[in-house]
Each structure stands twice: as C-alpha cells, then as structure tokens.
Structure 1
Amino acid sequence: MWKDEVKAARKAAGLTQAKMNQIMKVPMRTIQSWEAGDRIPPEYVQILVLEKLEQIKNE
C-alpha cells in the first residue's frame, strides 16, 4: 500500500517530512496526505518518489 511504502522509504532515508519537503520540493500537505492514505499519486510519481528516496538512503 502506497502510504506504508512512502513512509517506510522516507524513514529508511533518514528524512523527516519537513526534510523530504526541502529536498524533493513536494508540499508538506501532500506528503502528509500520502502518509495518511488520503491521496494516492499516479503510479509514475510513486516510482519516481520511491527511487529518489532509495537514492538518498544510499548516499
């Protein structure tokens, strides 16, 4: 489920929601909505976000 994946990936990358906002330029409210399960982005956005978080984790 997207909300669980994005939250786990963000935490694995060592980011707070605020830091993810700063680095990825995703609005805070959007990140909060994703993690609450209120909004689900298109699949291509999900892939790009998870790839970027994985890249940050591995840096």
Structure 2
Amino acid sequence: MNKIKEARIATGLSRAEIAKIMEVPYRTWENWESDNNPNYPKPYFERLILKELKNIRK
C-alpha cells in the first residue's frame, strides 16, 4: 500500500470525501492510490499531501 492511501485510510474518510475536502478530482486521487501508477506525485508534493492528511486526521 502506498503512503497516500495509508494516510487517507488513517483519516477514516473515503476517497470521495477526501478528494472533496482537498479539492482534488476524484479520478486524480484514485490514480494516486493505485499501484504502479506512473502519475504518482513527486516526493515534494507527496510530502505536502501527507502533511495535509495528517492535519485532517487531528
């Protein structure tokens, strides 16, 4: 499982809910969570996403 998917699951929110909260298209979020995705965010963007997800969880 990738880091973005793990962090989203830790929030307890669905893909649709988190996509709406973060104002990211659902399909984009779905792609980020899929295995072997060539469009996975670059490391600096992944860190920003994970930081935002951590704040949502609190």
Q: TM-score range by the shorter chain?
A: 0.7 to 0.9
- Matching residue of 1:49: 49
Q: What are structure 1's unaligned runs of at least 5 residues? A: none
Bigger mean CA offset, 39-48 vs 5-14:
39-48
Q: What are structure 2's unaligned runs of at least 5 residues? A: none
- Matching residue of 1:6: 4
| Matched residue type, 2:43 | E
Aligned length in residues: 56
Q: Which runs of 4+ in 1 moved over 6 A?
A: none
Greater helix proportion: 1
Shift of 1:28: 0.8
- Structure 1 length-normalised TM: 0.83
- Structure 2 length-normalised TM: 0.85
- Matching residue of 2:26: 28
